[in-house]
Amino acid sequence: MYFRGTWGCNLALSATIGIPQALLYYKYYPLWEGFLKGLGAEVVSSNVTTKRIVNAGTSVAENELCLPVKIFFGHLIELKDKVDALFVPRVISVEQGTYTCPKFLGLPDLARAVDAKLPKILDPTFNTRLGRRHFYEALFDFGKTFTNSKYKIWRAWMTGVAAQKAYQKKLLAGVSPLEALGGDAGAILSTGDLKIGIAGHPYNVHDPYINLNLIKKLKKWGAQVVTEEMILPRVLEHEANKLPKRLFWSYEREVVGAAFHWLQTRTVDGIIYILSFACGQDSLIQVLLETEAKKHEGIPFMSLVIDEHSGEAGLITRVEAFIDMLRWRSLS
């Protein structure tokens, strides 16, 4: 059986389940929250990443992992004493013919290997590669942990889907994920004279700790910021298909699609690409993006590589110089 539920026994209806504010949180939190609440669970999420969380994560994680995964572990540790179980789904594939990052495929296993005593880990599998039937079978199988009523499981899922749709609509309209999820995003109105596209994985782009508050800084310096969430999925899909060979990672297709869209439509003054130092996919699409950006003269492209050793001084210098460069252009 391709779906392996490892949680074993039934959870009490009022169980508190923790969702770490890291990695796919920025993409699917409303879906997961709606689904779990619909099943009768209490849901809590961790707070924004702090130094303590980063230190906790990096101290238990394998050294070769990327910073976002290490931070994910930090969030698990942050939640461990507050919840009955942790929600760490195995997101294998979210559309036909593609995969997600290999670390997402093994995330529950990586989490179990973390050197810290963690509560029970709930790891439903989300895999659309094998078709709808398998996907929903897995869903019902997971739902059985909470209830035997297939109807209730279905209704819970649909509640999550509705919340997710509403969330994505907000993001499309330009609300940042943290704002949409009710957290503080240091919302400064974007009324700048420059428009900058921020490419990169949402967990890098929207975690102010990982990117050293890049978005807030850009806004303070008078730049409007646009991200991939503000582009229609079919547009991302269309743009990503311009690559001679289909990328087989979904989320990276979205990053590529967004950057290509901005370059193609010339709707931004410049693009900043945030990437993790240890990320395999990022290292590959960085080259694809840089090559494509060269073909579109007049839209500067800059990569910012981030890991736990990143110094703020170097990052600020680069971003300041990037903004100066864009302003200088628009003056002449």
Those residues with Cβ within 8 angstroms of residue 327's Cβ, 6 or more apart along the chain or in another chain = 193, 194
- Residues of this chain that interact with another protein (CB under 8 A) are 50-52, 186, 208-209, 212-213, 216-217, 220, 277, 290, 294, 300, 305, 312-314, 316-318, 320-321, 324-325, 328-329, 332
Those residues with Cβ within 8 angstroms of residue 19's Cβ, 6 or more apart along the chain or in another chain = 25, 29, 32, 33, 36, 43, 44, 45, 46, 87
Of 7 and 277, the one with the shorter C-beta distance to another protein is 277
Q: How far is the CB of 52 from another protein (least distance, A)?
A: 5
Of 121 and 306, the one with the shorter C-beta distance to another protein is 306
* Residues pairing with 120 in the sheet: 85
Q: Which amino acid is at 234?
A: R
Residues in the chain: 332
Give the Cα-Cα-Cα angle 244, 65, 85 (nearest 5 degrees). 110
Q: How far is the CB of 332 from another protein (least distance, A)?
A: 6
Bridge pairing between strands 120-122 and 194-199: unpaired
Q: How far is the CB of 300 from another protein (least distance, A)?
A: 6
Of 245 and 309, the one with the shorter C-beta distance to another protein is 309
How far is 74 from 185, CA to CA, in rounded Å? 20
Q: How far is the CB of 205 from another protein (least distance, A)?
A: 16
Of 130 and 316, the one with the shorter C-beta distance to another protein is 316
Q: How far is the CB of 224 from another protein (least distance, A)?
A: 18
Of 56 and 231, the one with the shorter C-beta distance to another protein is 56
Whether the Cβ atoms of residue 258 and residue 197 lie closer than 8 Å to each other: yes
